[in-house]
Structure 1
Amino acid sequence: MSAGRTAAAQSAGPVGARWVGALCLANLGVWVGWFGPLQLLLARQAELLAPEHKASTLALVTGVGAAVSMVANPVFGALSDRTTAAVGRRIPWVVAGVAGGAAGLLALSRASGIAGVLAGWCLVQLALNAAFAALTAAVPDQVPPQRRGLVGGWLGVSQVGGVLAGTALATAAGGVTAGYPACAAFTVLAALPYVLMGRDSRLSPADRPTLRPRAFLAGFWIDPRRHPDFGWAWLTRFLMNLSYSVSTMYLLYYLTDAVHYADDADTGVLVLTALNALTLLATVVAGGRRSDRTGRRKVYVIASGLVITAGTLLLAVWQTWTGAVTASLVLGAGFGVYTSVDFALLTDVLPTAEDRGRDLGVINIANALPQVLAPVIAAPVVTHLGGYTALYALAGTLALAGSVLVGRIRGVP
C-alpha cells in the first residue's frame, strides 16, 4: 500500500449526520465571507472608488488577497497539525479564523480608499483561510475513505450555498456599507454549531514534533518525483481553478459590457449564480455517493471536467443572456460532480496522516494561486487580446487540460 493510501485509510471512524451538518454549515459561512465580496461587493467598491480603473483596481485587490490566501492556508494547516489545545487541533483555528474574518469584513465596510480595501480584504483572506484549513483537514481526520465522496458532496453543497447566500446577502443589503456586516454576522453564526459540538482530533504535547523553522518551511515542498499522484492531483486542480477564476472574475462586467444585460447587473449575477447552484446541487451529492459506491474517482473527475469545458466555451461563443443562462446550468452540473469527487480523490493521495492539514494546505495553493494569476492573465486578454471571446476560450482550454491530465494519476482508480 502506498503512503498516500495509508494516510487515506487513517481516520477516527464513522461520523454522524449532525457532525457533517455542522461542518458543512461552518464551511458555508466561510464561503459567504469570501464570495459576498468576490461576487459583488469588491466590484462595486472598486467602481465607487476608481470608476475609470475599476477592472485594474478589482484585479489588484483580489490578486493581492489571493497571494495572502496562498501562503496562509498551508501555514495555518501545518500549525493546526501541531496544535495541542485541550479542545483539539482544528477548532481553535476555526474560532480565530471566523473572528478575524468578521473583523476584516467590518473594516471593508468602512474603507474610504483603495489602501483600506486592500488591507481589509487581506485580513479577510488571512483569517478565513485559517478556518478553512482547519475545516478541510477535519474531513480526513474524522471521515473514513469510503464515505469521503459523500461528505465531499455535502461540502460542495455548502460551498455553492455559501456563494449563493453571500451573493444574496450582498444584493439584499443594498450596498457596500450594509453588505459586509451582513456577511460578517453570517460567517460567525454559522461556525457556532461546529465549535460547540467539540468533536476534534487531539494531539498530546508529548507527541508534538519540535518546531524547527527550516524543517517547517521545507515541509511545504512535496516532491512530485516521490509522490507523483499528489503532484498530478495538484496540477489538475490548479488548471481547473485557474479556468474558474478566469471565468468568474469579470462576470459582472461580462453582463454589462458583452451581454448588454438590460436590467440591473447585480441581479443578473445573482440569477446566474442561483441557476448554477441549482444544477450543482442536483449532481454534487449524487456524484460523490456514486463514486463511493463504485470505488472509482478518475472517470468522474475527467467527465465532469469535460462538461465544465463545454460550459465555459458556451460563454465564449454565445454572448447573450440565454447563452449565459445555459452556460451557468451546464457549469453547475459539471462542477457538482467535480467538487465532490475531486475532493475525495485528493484525500486519497495525501502523503502522510500526520501532516494532513499542511498537505491539504499545499493542495489549496492550487485554489489560491489561480486567483493571483487570473487578474494578470484576464485583464490584458479582455483589454487587448480579443475581449471576452478570447477570455472564455482560454478558460475552456485550461479546463480541458485539467480534465485530461487526471488520467496520469495512477494510485487511485
Structure 2
Amino acid sequence: MSDETTVAETAQLKLTGLEKIRYYGAYLLFALLWMGGLTIVSAVLLPQHMKDVLGDADAATKVFTVLNVVTAIASLVSNLLFGNLSDRTRSRFGRRAPWILGGGIVGGVSLFLTGISTNPWTIGFWYCVCMFGLNAMIAPVIASFSDRIPEDMRASMSAFMALGQTVGQSVGTIIAAYFISNTLPGFLAAGILMGISGIITILVWPTEKSSADLPPVKAGWAEFWASFIPPTKGARDFWLAFGGRTLLIFGYYMITNYQLYILQDYIGQDKKTSGATIATMSVLIMIFGLIGSLGSGFISDKIGKRKVPVALASVLMAIGYALPWIFKTGWSMFGFAIFAGFGYAVYGAVDQALNVDVLPNKEEAGKDLGILNIATTLGQMAGPILTGVLATTVGYAAVFPTAIVFSALAVVFFFMIRSTK
C-alpha cells in the first residue's frame, strides 16, 4: 500500500494478516512510548521540579499554569503546521515518515533538557520545543488513519493507539513516582522514551512508499498560507466533533495533570504518600484502560456505531470526577482512576475512527486531522490552565463539578453529528 492509493481505495482496502499485526503494533508502541515519556514529566516530575526550583508551592502552581498556557499555544501551532507539511511533503521516504522520525528526536532531547534546566524561562523554552517535536510525530501518524487504514478497521486501530496511550500514561506515572525525590534520572528516561517512539513506529509498520511521484503541491507563499485555512464547506459535523472532543478531554486533563497537587494540597497527603497513591492510580487506569480500549474499539467496528461508546465514556468519566469531589479521600481518587480511566479509554478507542468519518475532504486529511488534534491539545493544555485558575481563586473543590459539566456538554455535541451512527 502506498500514498498513491486513492481515498476510495483506502476505504475498501484489505490488509493481510501480517500487515494488520504490524499496524496494530506500530500504533500501540508509538502511543505507549511518547505518552509514557510525556506523562513522566507532565503529570509528576515537571510540577515537582517547579516546586524544587522555586521553593514555594503557590509560586510553583502559578508558574505551572503560565507554562501550560505557553505550551498550549506551541502545541496548537505545531499540530496544524506539521499536519499540513506532511500532506505537502514529497520524498522517496514518503509523506509522513520524515516528520515522525525527526519529531521524535527533537521531542526526546528537549524533554530531557527541560529537566536539567533550573530557570523557569529555560524550562518553559525547552518544554515548548518538546511540543513542536511531539506534534511533528503525532500529526502525521494520525493522518495515516485516512491514508493507509481501511474504513472497517479504523476503530480497532484507534483502540490500539488508545491502549498505548492508556498504558503509557500509567507506566509513565509509575516511573515518575519513583523519581519524585530525584527528578533528573526521570527526565532522562522520559527523553529516551519519546526519542525512540518515532524510530520504532517507522520500523514496525509497513514501509511507507515514496511520495516523490505524487502530483506536486502548488508553490508560493500565498498558496502555502491558504492551505492552512480550516474547512468550512460541508464541515458541520467536523466542527461538532472538534467541540465534543475538546470538552471531553478538557475535563479529563483538568484533573489528570493536577493529580499530584490535588493529592497534596486538596486531599492533604504528603510527598511520599501522594507518590504511592499516584502509582496505585496508574495501575488501576492501566488495567481498566486495557479493557475499555480493546473492547469498545472492536465492538464499534463490528456494529458500525461511534456515538454509543462516546456517550458511555462521558457518563463513566463524570462518575469518576464526582467521587473525589464528594468524598475527598485517597480512596476516592482510586475511584476516579477506575471510572474516568475506563471511560477515557472507551472514548479513545473510537476517537480517530470518528474523526476520519467526519472529514469534509479526505485528500487534506493531514491538515484537517491536525486541526481536530488541536482539540486534544486544547484539552490537555487548557484544561490544566483552568484548574490552576480555579485552584488559586476558589479552591480545588470547584474543579470537579466543572469537569462534570464539560463531560455532559461533550455528549450533546457528539449526538448532533449526522454523518456517523
Mapping of residues 78-227 of structure 1, within 5 Å: 78-173=84-179, 175-197=182-204, 199-200=207-208, 202-205=210-213, 207-224=215-232, 226-227=234-235
**Cα distance, 1:168 vs. partner?**
2.7
Residue of structure 1 in register with 2:46 after alignment: 42
Cα pair 2:145 2:154 within 8 Å, conserved: yes
Is contact 2:37-2:189 (8 Å) kept?
no
Partner SS state of residue 354, structure 1: helix
Structure 2 counterpart of 1:253, from 261, 266, 276: 261
Partner of 2:3: none
Give, as a single letter, the amino acid of the residue that structure 1 aligns with 2:134: L
CA contact (8 A) 2:72 2:378 kept: yes
**Equivalent of 1:355, from 355, 364, 383?**
364
CA contact (8 A) 1:46 1:54 kept: yes
Alignment-mate amino acid for residue 244 of structure 1: Y
| Residue 3 (structure 1) aligns with | none
Residue 353 (structure 2) pairs with residue 344 (structure 1):
yes
CA distance in 2, matches of 1:315, 1:7: 46
**Is residue 169–residue 183 contact of structure 1 (8 Å, CA) maintained in 2?**
no
State the distance in 1 between where 2:398 and 2:339 align: 20
1:185-242 Cα deviation digits (max 9, x unpaired) = 2223343332234522542355121144334334434345631110100010011111
1:18-97 aligned at under 5 Å gives the runs 18-52=22-56, 53-97=59-103
Aligned-residue CA RMSD (Å): 2.0
Task: Output aligned runs, 1:332-411, within 5 Å.
Answer: 332-385=341-394, 387-411=395-419
Q: Secondary structure at the match of 1:411?
A: coil
Pair 366,259 (structure 1): closer, same or farther in 2 beyond 3 Å: same
3-state secondary structure, aligned to 2:362:
coil
Count of residues paired in the alignment: 407
What is the CA–CA distance in structure 2 between the aligned matches of 1:290 and 1:76, rounded to whole Å?
Answer: 32
Displacement after TM superposition at 1:260 (Å): 1.9
105 and 222 in structure 1: CA distance in 2 versus 1, 3 angstrom threshold? closer
| Residue 33 of structure 1, CA deviation | 2.8
- For residues 375 and 306 of structure 1, the distance between their equivalents in structure 2, rounded to whole angstroms, comes to 21
| Aligned match of 1:412 | 420
Q: How far apart in 2 are the matches of 1:7 and 1:313?
A: 43
Mapped partners of 1:201, 1:362: distance in 2: 25
Distance in 2, Cα, partners of 1:335 & 1:342 = 10
Greater mean deviation of Cα atoms: 291-300 or 209-218: 209-218
Offset of 1:269 from its aligned partner? 1.7
Once the two structures are overlaid, the 10-residue window that deviates more, 201-210 or 231-240, is 201-210
> Hey, what does 2:242 align to over in structure 1?
234
- State the alpha-carbon separation in 2 of the partners of residues 234 and 220 from structure 1: 16
Asked if the contact 1:242–1:371 (Cα under 8 Å) also holds between the matched residues in 2, the reply is: yes
Cα pair 1:60 1:375 within 8 Å, conserved: no
Whether the aligned pair in 1 keeps the contact of 2:104 and 2:196 (CA below 8 Å) is no
- Name the CA distance, whole Å, in 1 between partners of 2:319 and 2:160: 25
Greater displacement, 309-318 / 41-50: 309-318
Verify the 8 A CA contact 1:82 1:203 in the aligned structure 2.
no
What corresponds to 1:314 in structure 2? Answer: 323
State how far apart, in whole Å, the 2-side matches of 1:201 and 1:268 are. Answer: 47
Residue 19 of structure 1 and its aligned partner are, at CA, apart by 2.9
Moved more, 173-182 or 95-104: 173-182
Secondary structure, counterpart of 2:363 in structure 1: coil
Report Cα offsets for 1:353-411 as digits up to 9, x if no partner: 221111111001111123443344222311222x2221110011001100122111001
Work out which of the residue numbers 264, 278, 285 in structure 2 matches 1:269.
278
Partner SS, residue 169 of structure 1? helix
Cα distance between partner residues in 2 of 1:38 and 1:370: 14
Q: Confirm or deny: 8 A CA contact 1:8 1:353 kept in the other structure.
A: no
- Unpaired stretches in structure 2, ≥5 consecutive residues: 1-5
Amino acid in the other structure paired with 1:240 = L
Contact 2:7/2:147 (8 A) holds in 1: no
User: Which stretch has the larger CA shift, 191-200 or 292-301?
Assistant: 191-200
What's 2:299 paired with? 290
Alpha-carbon distance in structure 2 between the residues aligned to 1:23 and 1:295: 21
Q: Distance in 2 between matches of 1:393 and 1:206?
A: 51
Cα-to-partner distance string for 1:269-293 (whole Å, 9 max, x where unaligned): 2221221221111111110100100
Identity of aligned residues (%): 26
Report the TM-score when normalising by structure 1: 0.93
3-state DSSP of counterpart to 1:370 = helix
How far the C-alpha of 1:32 sits from its partner, in A, is 2.1
Structure 1 range deviating more: 190-199 or 223-232: 190-199
Offset, 1:13: 4.4
